[in-house]
Amino acid sequence: MRKHLMLHTGILGLCILPFIGTAHAADPVTFSGLFLAQNEQFRFSVEAGYLTARANEYVYEEGRTVSRLIWDINAAATITARAEMNMTPRWRLSGSATVGIDHSNFMADYDWLTPSPDWSHRSVHWDTQLDHYVALDLGASYAAWQINRTTLNILGGLRYTDFQLSSYGGSFVYTTEDGEFRGDSLSFPDGQAVITYRQRLPALYGGLGASRQIGSVHFDAGILGGVTLWPRDKDHHWLRSLKFKDEFKRSPYLALQLRASVPVSDKGEAFLSARFEKYFRMEGNTHILDTRTGQSSLFQDSAGASLQALNIGVGLRFRF
């Protein structure tokens, strides 16, 4: 999973190279020519994509990691709809919605419940289903400069990511009560619900973007940085009848995005896009509810979470 994300991030970096122009030939600020040619008032696009992502869930005890759950979305199909409106020659508003469709997922749960630095308990769950994945984005861009044939933009907006995965069946290796390290194992029945996990991650971001025309190909790229706002998650351990609700402190957010498009008609374009985003590790408090007895407990600084995702897609965009 990590190798795939590193490879795709490298591809994003290579694709940004077309935006590197010759600085000594920079023109004064102007918005004729290239910018005005792209200045249709409204645009709408639809895109089919491929999503790969990894979410981490952590449990801490006295500053030590005692549990880590790794939730992988290995290959999910996505549908994205996006609308853009030019409010003025420089200001543009945009909104998008992405929905993920279940395909291939995986979960592994590691525990460190002995003095050994190696894990003492582990369960793996190949039957892990994506219950839902939704990413919403509302943004604005301001065309600030034009250098040669490149327009530089100031970006800002809000993004919200919400997904849920559920694991079923699987196998479990654990250290016995008499101290035999990884000395026993068992299997969960196929189809038996084990854990359901959900993350909800709002983020406020800003950044810089660039657009450039090279022949008939139009490139758009951006780098975004920001902070999460009231991030939270929920974990339901079905076999233990426990619900864990975590609320996290703010943490950094980073995204890289790229789109390359070519005209297919007077008002239509075909495009290839890629977006990598990372919600850095968040830490916070845990509220635990025993669903059998109704008893609840609060633990300070006992939870952590993170998310990184890559979505690659192809689509059509129409200008009005």
The pLDDT, as a whole number, for residue 17 is 44
pLDDT digit string (tens) for 136-159? 999 999 999 988 889 999 999 999
Query: Is residue 118 annotated as a catalytic residue, yes or no?
Result: no
Q: Report whether pLDDT(164) > 90.
A: yes
The rounded mean pLDDT for the chain is 90
pLDDT digit string (tens) for 184-215? 999 999 999 999 999 999 999 999 999 999 99
Instruction: Name the band, by pLDDT with cuts 50, 70 and 90, for residue 9.
Output: very low
Asked if 71 contacts 128 with a C-beta cutoff of 8 angstroms, the reply is yes
- Looking at the DSSP bridge assignments, the partners of residue 30 are none
Query: Is residue 237 annotated as a catalytic residue, yes or no?
Result: yes
Residue 263 makes CB contacts below 8 A (sequence gap 6+) with 216, 269
The pLDDT, as a whole number, for residue 104 is 87
Query: Is residue 290 annotated as a catalytic residue, yes or no?
Result: no
Among residues 109, 220, 233, 246, the one annotated as catalytic is 109
Asked if 206 contacts 225 with a C-beta cutoff of 8 angstroms, the reply is yes
The pLDDT, as a whole number, for residue 40 is 66
Q: Report whether pLDDT(37) > 50.
A: no
The pLDDT, as a whole number, for residue 102 is 79
Q: Give, as one character, the DSSP assignment of residue 118.
A: S
Asked if 148 contacts 21 with a C-beta cutoff of 8 angstroms, the reply is yes
Which is higher by pLDDT, 222 or 63? 222
Total length of the chain = 320
Query: Is residue 235 annotated as a catalytic residue, yes or no?
Result: yes
- Looking at the DSSP bridge assignments, the partners of residue 245 are 234, 287
Among residues 111, 137, 220, 246, the one annotated as catalytic is 111
Among residues 8, 103, 121, 237, the one annotated as catalytic is 237
Give the mean model confidence (pLDDT) for residues 21-43: 48
Name the phi and psi angles at 208, rounded to 5: -125, 145
Q: What is the C-alpha separation between 93 and 136, in angstroms, rounded?
A: 14
Asked if 302 contacts 288 with a C-beta cutoff of 8 angstroms, the reply is no
The pLDDT, as a whole number, for residue 154 is 98
The pLDDT, as a whole number, for residue 148 is 82
Give the mean model confidence (pLDDT) for residues 284-288: 98
Among residues 137, 233, 235, 246, the one annotated as catalytic is 235
The pLDDT, as a whole number, for residue 179 is 85
pLDDT digit string (tens) for 87-126? 999 999 999 999 999 778 999 999 999 999 999 999 999 9
Instruction: Map out the domains of the chain with their CATH numbers.
Output: 2-319 (2.40.128.90)
